[in-house]
Amino acid sequence: MRIDLFNSQASQVAGQPNPKQVKSQDGVASEVDAGGDRATLTSGSGSIGSLVSEAMNSPEIRQDKVESLQQAIGSGQYQLDPEQIAGAMIDEHA
C-alpha cells in the first residue's frame, strides 16, 4: 500500500477530507486503498492505565534493595570500581 503524503496534506490544506481516510470505531483514522486493504490502529489505553496505576501504587523506596545494600556494605562485600564510576561520570558529561 502506498501512502501519498502530498495528497493528504493538500486535501487538509484545502479543508476537504481525504477520500481515502476512514474513521474506525475508536476514532482513529486509517487508510483504505482501492484494493480494499485496511489498517486499524487501536489505543492501548487500558493496558497503559493499568501500568500507570501499578507504578503509582508501588513504593517510592524499595526497602528490600536498601537493606540488602546496607548488609553488603556493612560486611565489606560491596566493592566499588573507581575506574568504572569515573568512566560513567565522564560519559554522562560528554
Yes or no: say if 1 and 9 are a contact pair by the CB < 8 Å rule. Answer: no
CA distances from 41 to 3, 57, 89 (A): 16, 29, 42
pLDDT digit string (tens) for 59-77? 888 899 999 999 999 999 9
Q: Is 69 strand, coil or helix?
A: helix
pLDDT at site 34: 60
Residue 38 has pLDDT above 50, yes or no: yes
What's the pTM value of the predicted model, to 2 decimals?
0.33
Average pLDDT over the chain, rounded to whole?
74
